[in-house]
Amino acid sequence: MGKMLMKGNEVLGEAAIHAGCKYFFGYPITPQNELVAYMARRLPEVGGAFVQAESEVAAINMVYGAASAGVRVMTSSSSPGISLMQEGISYMAGSELPAVICNMVRGGPGLGSIQPAQSDYFQAVKGGGHGDYRLPVLAPATLQEMVNLMGEAFDIADQYRTPVMILGDGMLGQMMEPVEFIDRPKRDLPPKDWATTGTRGDGAPRTITSLFLDPAELEKHNERLDAKFKKIAENEVRYETFLTDDAEVICVAYGTMARIVRNVVNKGRANGLKIGLIRPISLWPFPTKPFEDTLQHAKAYLSVEMSTGQMVEDVRLAVNGKKPVYFHGRAGGMVPTQEAIMKTIEEILGGVLV
């Protein structure tokens, strides 16, 4: 196909189709509407199905049904809609159903705004729905990375039988960049012999449920899920470091924010400032290794976010009190400027911030 100039939300759709997704159930919400429209147009062309659900609650439950029938299925929404989907996400985690959910985050809480934000970090990585479960969350920073991570997201979902979230924001959804849909190495995935597709005479009936009335049985189920999440935490960590080898102040940022911070790092380096960037790509599992690797020489860490400070808590856990951790952020759909971030870094380096 070669390189094509595409809009972020449409890239998500085409990337999903490229990854073998033929089913999409969704409900309109700005700033991800182009994705819903794209799937409505494209899925019939590839022999799949699209349904505009009556609500996000219904959409995620249609995803639940399609996933239980053993196919690759996706939904997408933005913050208020994702809140409504939490019931279904918890049920899918409990019933071990694979699917991909895209959240193109906008400012909140409540109806908030339609501007890009990163204020759904807690909801994405710390649960969101009820019960003992974890949600693998992948955060692309470029449209090409959206393509690559979409395949990974579906593979992780299928390998571990779990819903997976792609966490973007309104800006990534709306921007245009050249992308290429290249085949990636396929994982060796287990057969979906658990799917409820009608037995067709090939064995005993199968059941998909998250109900375990006996507490001892539910505890066993929770422990099994936990062991699975530990395996994901071991094997599915993704991050990128940029000029961290000798850095004294290490910024931590993901997604759209990481693009901006990268420019700050480049500018600072040009002026002789020893600064670098850790960019978590998997937000859960959160990468701890780049922190361990840099603790020796780093003087401080700075979490930069489009929120009032959420990921900073995970940065603090990773640093574990060994070095100071600072925060710089804007909220409500406002985006931190390069100048303001640079000023904070200079204050840290100058010993102004303690």
Q: Work out the burial of residue 3: count CB atoms within 10 Å of its CB; fewer than 13 is exposed, 13-18 middle, 19 or more buried.
A: exposed
Q: Residue from 10, 25, 158, 291 that binds another protein (CB under 8 A)?
A: 25
Least separation in angstroms between residue 206's CB and another protein is 5
In the complex, the smallest distance separating the C-beta of residue 45 from another protein, rounded to whole angstroms, is: 16
307-93-196-210 Cα dihedral, nearest 10 degrees = -140
For residues 91 and 239, which CB has a smaller minimum distance to another protein in the complex?
91
| Residue with smaller CB distance to another protein, 209 or 296 | 209
Nearest distance in Å: CB 181, another protein: 24
Q: How far is the CB of 225 from another protein (least distance, A)?
A: 17
The residue type at 250: I
CA dist 206 and 194 (Å) reads: 7
138 and 155 Cβ atoms separated by less than 8 Å: no
**CB of 149: closest distance to another protein in angstroms?**
24
Q: How far is the CB of 49 from another protein (least distance, A)?
A: 4
The structure tokens listed for 279 are 């960019």
Residue 156: CB minimum distance to another protein, A: 21
Closest contact distance (angstroms) between CB of 68 and another protein is 5
Q: What separation in angstroms does the CA of 30 have from each of 76, 215, 236, 274?
A: 11, 42, 30, 39
- The footprint of another protein on this chain (CB under 8 A) covers a number of residues equal to 39
Helix (H) or strand (E) segment spanning residue 220: helix 215-235
Nearest to another protein of 55, 263 (CB atom): 55
CB 65, min distance to another protein, A: 2
How far apart are alpha carbons 234 and 238 in whole angstroms?
Answer: 11
Binding mask 88-127 for another protein (x = CB under 8 A): x--x---x--------------------------------
In terms of CB distance, is 88 or 170 closer to another protein?
A: 88
Interface with another protein in residues 49-88 (CB under 8 A): 49, 51, 53-55, 57-59, 61-71, 73, 87-88
Cα distances (Å, whole numbers) of residue 84 to 81, 224, 226: 5, 27, 25
Region of 46-54, 156-164, 170-178, 289-297 interacting with another protein (CB under 8 A): 46-54
Residue 218, C-beta contacts closer than 8 angstroms, at least 6 positions apart: 212
Interacting residue with another protein among 21, 23, 303, 305 (CB under 8 A): 23
Residue among 156, 161, 159, 155 at smallest CA distance from 208: 161
Give the alpha-carbon dihedral of 278, 279, 282, 284, to 10 degrees. 60
Using alpha carbons, select from 35, 16, 10 the residue that is nearest to residue 148: 16
Adjacent-strand bridge partners of 137:
165, 284
Part of the chain binding another protein (CB under 8 A), chosen from 48-56, 147-155, 263-271, 327-335 = 48-56
The DSSP code for 116 is B
Tokens representing 19 are: 């990854």
Q: For residues 206 and 322, which CB has a smaller minimum distance to another protein in the complex?
A: 206
Q: Give the shortest CB-210-to-another protein separation in angstroms.
A: 7
Distance CA 67, CA 194 (A): 11
Q: Interface residues for another protein in 182-241 (CB under 8 A)?
A: 196-201, 205-211
Binding flags for another protein, 301-330, as an x/- string (CB under 8 A): ------------------------------
CB-nearer residue toward another protein: 196 or 320: 196
Question: By the criterion CB under 8 A, which residues form the site for another protein?
Answer: 23, 25, 49, 51, 53-55, 57-59, 61-71, 73, 87-88, 91, 95, 196-201, 205-211
